[in-house]
Amino acid sequence: MPCSDIIVIVMAAGQSSRFGSDKRVAKLGNGETLLSSTLRTIQKTFSNSRVVIKPEDNAQSLGLIPTNHIIISQRSHLGLGYSISDAFRQLCSDESVHHFRAAAVWLADLPWVSEETCNVLTKTATPDSIVQPLHQGNPGHPVVFGRKFWSELALLENDRGASPVIKKHSKRVIYVSLNDPGVCTDVDYPDDLTKSLKNTRSAQAPYKNTTKITLKAKTDF
Q: Which residue segments constitute the domains of the chain, with CATH numbers given?
A: 6-194+205-216 (3.90.550.10)
> How high is the pLDDT of residue 201?
47
> How high is the pLDDT of residue 212?
59
Residue 173 and residue 111 in contact, taking contact as beta carbons nearer than 8 Å: no
> How high is the pLDDT of residue 210?
47
> How high is the pLDDT of residue 204?
45
> How high is the pLDDT of residue 113?
96
Distance of CA 59 to the CA centre of its chain: 19
> How high is the pLDDT of residue 203?
44
> How high is the pLDDT of residue 179?
95
Paired with 143 in beta bridges are: 105
Q: Kind of pairing, strands 49-53 and 6-11?
A: parallel
Short-list 85, 91, 217, CA closest to 161: 85
| Widest pairwise Cα distance in the chain | 46
> How high is the pLDDT of residue 202?
45
> How high is the pLDDT of residue 160?
87
* Positions of the chain with pLDDT under 70: 195-221
